[in-house]
Amino acid sequence: MSPIPAPGQPSAVSTAAPARKATAAPARKATVAFAHLGCEKNRVDTEHMLGLLAEAGYGVSADENDASVVVVNTCSFIQEAREESVRTLVELAEQGKELIIAGCLAQHFQQELLDSLPEAKAIVGTGDYQHIVSVLERVEAGERVHQVSATPVFVGDEHLPRYRTTSEAVAYLKVAEGCDYRCAFCIIPKLRGDQRSRTIESVVAEAQQLASQGVKELVLISQITTNYGLDLYGKPQLAELLRALGEVEIPWIRVHYAYPTGLTTEVLAAYREVANVLPYLDLPLQHSHPEVLRAMNRPWQADVTGSLLKRIREQLPEAVLRTTFIVGFPGETEEHFQHLLDFVAEQRFDHVGVFTFSSEEGTAAAELANPVSAEVAAERKDRLMALQQPIAAERNAAWVGRIVDVLIEQENPSTGEMLGRCSRYAPEVDGEVRVLPGEGGLCAAPGTMVPVRITAANTYDLVGVVVGAQAMVGDALAARQGST
């Protein structure tokens, strides 16, 4: 659970400014606290609710003890996420807090939440967070509110107030909402609806707002970002969007959730040619064996994955590849799993996340025969991660000796070290760079981007020292001489 800061107050989570200046607000109303759970798409929804309430004159506190009402933006993606959401709700209810339950759990269970939690004064669906002010006003008037659209259709844009909960240097930008795919294991389309994209002009306008706030890394998110624009323009428009964002003064643009079928020649060319688009590809492949992929309702993937990865490496030699896999899917045999082990050993991804299958009521996979026991699934997860760890260490080690830009994010005051990330690490899901002061005491402050020479590596992280302009020139000359 992430506490949310009050606008304008310092916090470990954020001191970022609103994405749009609020108009003069009336006298301060009741204070509201937020608890954020789940993915970064959910985080953006939380930030919009914060912005709307702040603009309407409500106080927002980082301390739930200061608030009369707590808005809990929940996750319901898998069983573990539901358990965390329910645990958070029960803990707050036991503290006597009045609750507004938003997000995927609210969309999923609706009346059940109101029936089981007397402290729940309202539920707000995934397509209804824009109504948070009127919902709170109705709650304050004594009403118990059920604000859940049966089919979510709303997607926020640059005109919706937003108060960011990330650092000033990093922002997430939701380019689309919902999903048209129907993977057998995934409940997201049921909870968030079909894909609905924002226009290129809308996305660029918000990116420019964020650039004016000093954002240095912009992370584009949606359920399937490579399908961006298909619903609006009749064909995916990610390449066109990336080229338009190339005109925005933000040093790093990172794309999350790039499905294999959408990584066309045009998209890869945009990755290669647009200077501020990072060659970082997050490919949620889920499995490698054709039979498992067919059971997952991803039969198209088996024929494209290997050739696509080869093409990515040919066209983007500096590409950093991240992926996720599900083990223990119904019907997965030891032979299927060995195929996945061999695939990971061959492809040598930079970053790999592994999840055990979670049976979700309402998905096709919940009805499949031949379930894999939790014990076997956990053992397979451990084996796959054990295989990946030395690969990850080797991929990290290849960066030792390089001078790379590092976005500094925080300081360890007891050691003087700084923590940050280079382009190969996405926020929160990958590793970090431990940055030591350079010669002559060269150092950096949080929120700045500095050149760092990588001096050491381990399985997940890098270590480096800040370098000055002279060292960078020397390295460039040495590289040129070495190539002649």
Q: What span, in angstroms and rounded, lies between the C-alpha atoms of 171 and 194?
A: 24
pLDDT, position 3: 46
d(CA 327, CA 132): 38
User: CA angle 131-134-139, nearest 5°?
Assistant: 120
pLDDT of residue 444: 78
CA distance 32 to 400: 47
What tokens were used for 2? Answer: 């992430």
The Cα 351–Cα 460 span in angstroms is 9
d(CA 12, CA 366): 40
Q: Residue 46 and residue 103: Cα distance in Å, rounded?
A: 9
Query: What pLDDT does 307 receive?
Result: 86
**Contacts of 114-122 spanning 24+ positions with Cβ under 8 A:** 114/144, 114/146, 117/89, 117/90, 117/93, 118/93, 119/92, 119/93, 120/89, 120/93, 121/69, 121/145, 122/146, 122/147
Contact 19, 161 (CB under 8 A): yes
Using CB atoms within 10 A of its CB, is residue 320 exposed (0-12), middle (13-18) or buried (19+)?
buried
Rounded Cα gap, residues 251 and 227, in angstroms? 24
Instruction: Say how far apart CA 419 and CA 423 lie, in whole Å.
Output: 14
pTM for the full model? 0.88
Question: What local confidence, expressed as pLDDT, does residue 478 receive?
Answer: 44
pLDDT (0 to 100) of residue 439: 60
- In degrees and rounded to multiples of 5, residue 412 shows phi and psi of -100, 100
pLDDT at 78: 79
List per-block mean pLDDT (blocks of 10 residues) for the chain, which spans 484 residues: 41 37 55 88 93 92 83 86 87 89 91 90 94 95 94 94 90 95 90 95 97 96 94 96 97 92 91 96 94 91 82 92 96 97 96 94 91 97 97 96 94 82 94 80 79 95 82 43 47
Q: CA separation (Å) from 60 to 6, 75, 241, 412?
A: 5, 21, 34, 28
Residue 443 confidence (pLDDT) = 65
What local confidence, expressed as pLDDT, does residue 13 receive? Answer: 31
**By 3-state DSSP, what share of the chain in percent is helix, strand and coil, each rounded to 5?**
40, 20, 40
